[in-house]
Amino acid sequence: MAKPTGFMEFDRELPADRAPTERIKDWQEFHLEFPENKLKVQGARCMDCGVPFCHTGQLISGMASGCPINNLIPEWNDLVYRGLWHQALERLLKTNNFPEFTGRVCPAPCEGSCTLGLNANPVTIKTIEHAIIEKGFEEGWITAQPPMARTGKKVAVVGSGPAGLACADQLNKAGHLVTVFERADRIGGLLIYGIPNMKLDKKLVKRRVDLMSAQGIKFVTNTEIGKNYPAEKLVKEFDAVVLCGGATRPRDLPLQGRQLNGVHFAMDFLHGNTKHLMGMEQPGSQSEDHPFISAEGKDVMVIGGGDTGTDCVGTALRQNCRSLLQLEILSRPPETRQADNPWPEWPKVYKLDYAQEEFKELYGKDPRNYSVTARRFVGDEQGNLTEVHTVDVEWVKDANGRFGPREIPGTEKVHQAQLVLLAMGFLGPEETVLAPLGVARDERSNAKAEYGKFATNLPGVFTAGDMRRGQSLVVWAINEGRGAARECDRYLMGATSLP
């Protein structure tokens, strides 16, 4: 272990962030650099315990417990403590294709399952991971490494999100000729258009994509399978296909007034904003599938309290909205772990994410209103949204013992709003790819394939990521992309050496 008494000598410390009042003025990443000497101290806190739940990657109570890609966390913590950064990078890259992404956007279930978290603050695993990969790029240790030999087998990967990119990276290492198809104009999937720039700078995505291109992977943009590229052509021209198209069908809120101008899906808002920032859209343009939607000078309501809702809050603040309210139908989480949420489960506790922290700095309170739901949208004669009517709810058990929300009479409120952003999650994959190919679905409408095998009902066609498991974490997408690559390689070659 790094330092036998480190966990007793040193406290948890995280890198400082730029001040909220400063960072909302731009779209740059808000975490500041952490000195190397402090990183070594944080690595010293890792106990290299006999039961390292940090890298187990189990599902407990429906949530990730530990790292889903089984990062060798105690090993590279020890190496960082000893100053052996190159060796730490080698250990990190054994399990994680893209630490520069997970080190920024992963919620770190590893830290939620850190043994030190039983009676103290957990190890700063995510911060150390981020530092290792960035040092690797800075020192020039990460270079293009094309495979020594090619198999001649051609594989199509549909979708360039984290699952598709991880799958393509692994299949290329095995020597196959990999082509990645992406319907958007840039490679990266949700890494580009689903996560705002202040959380993940798009230059970092391009850096990784350029590296993968130099290693022999072919990327094709503006190509949607089932629309401008026939699905049947795909299975004819390639020896195998891996579908990683994500779960991009958003959950709607079919209330009275849903059709009013000003009620939008959250991803349309985030996608359009990123395109605008990259200079590919102008305000008010309707020429693209995701036009720029501005919150400037508007009263904004975000419906949904997850990561997407948080990103909408942060984006609306940077667009200079006039006011903002975030609705969460669930009850406010407790301040500390409860008896029914023991370690090593993910801690379901109250916390301020970056955007709520920014709002609180400006207005002195959390923008989230818990146990509240929208009842209807109201507009003017021109069809523009003007109000949102809400009501408080309480959670009660039904006849089958399942909890559900029930409206509380007399709690109705009227809120002024010209922009509503629906951030209530996703229902499953879209139809364009799966239907034309005839891929079987499960009961949740996802592509049907057994975890660990990733094979669909069609020979040579595999699936991974959110398209198979439903909306999930980036780190689970990487896990599935790697797994699908392994099984695809086995299908093509009869055996595989991929992990």
Q: Model confidence over 229-272: pLDDT tens digits?
A: 999 999 999 999 999 999 999 999 999 999 999 999 999 999 99
With tokens 């922290």, the residue in question is 357
pLDDT exceeds cutoff 70 at 288: no
Q: Which residues pair with 177 in a beta bridge?
A: 154
**Which two structure tokens, joined as six digits, stand for 298?**
């508007």
- Please tell me the distance from the alpha carbon of residue 51 to that of residue 74, in angstroms, as a whole number: 11
Give dist(CA 81, CA 77) in Å, integer: 6
What does the pLDDT look like over 300-335, one tens digit per residue?
999 999 999 999 999 999 999 999 999 999 999 999
Tens of pLDDT, residues 152-189: 999 999 999 999 999 999 999 999 999 999 999 999 99
Of the candidates 406, 403, 456, 399, the residue with the CA atom closest to the CA atom of residue 433: 456
Count of alpha carbons within 13 Å of 348, Cβ hemisphere only? 16
The residue-averaged pLDDT of 78-94 equals 97
**Could you tell me which CATH class the domain 154-248+427-493 is placed in?**
alpha beta
The neighbouring-strand residues paired with 422 are: 265, 303
Could you tell me which of 283, 362, 378 has the C-alpha nearest to residue 324?
A: 362
- Domain 6-138 and domain 252-424 have a common topology: no
Task: Collapse the DSSP code of 376 into the 3-class scheme (helix H, G, I; strand E, B; otherwise coil) and give the result.
Answer: strand
Strand pairing report for 63-65 and 58-60:
antiparallel
Q: Collect contacts of 430-436 with beta carbons under 8 A, ≥24 apart.
A: 430/245, 430/248, 430/249, 431/226, 432/224, 432/225, 432/226, 432/227, 433/158, 433/225, 433/226, 433/231, 433/243, 433/245, 434/243, 434/467, 435/226, 436/225, 436/226, 436/230, 436/231, 436/232
- Report whether CATH 3.40.50.1400 matches the domain 252-424: no
Q: Which of 495, 465, 380, 496 is nearest to 166 (CA)?
A: 465
Tell me the two tokens of residue 307. Answer: 């990561």
The CATH code of the domain at 6-138 is: 1.10.1060.10
Q: Nearest 5°: phi and psi at 102?
A: -65, -30
Question: What's the rounded Cα separation, in Å, for the pair 427 and 249?
Answer: 6
Query: Given a cut of 60, is residue 285 above it in pLDDT?
Result: no
Q: State in Å, rounded, how far the first CA of the chain is from the last one.
A: 25
Q: Which of 7-11, 82-86, 124-128, 285-289 has the lowest mean pLDDT?
A: 285-289
pLDDT score of 437 more than 60: yes
Query: Where in the chain are the domains?
Result: 6-138, 154-248+427-493, 252-424
* SS3 labels along 40-51: HHHHHCCCCCCC
Q: Express each pLDDT in 204-237 by its tens digit.
A: 999 999 999 999 999 999 999 989 999 999 999 9
Chain-wide mean pLDDT for the chain? Answer: 94
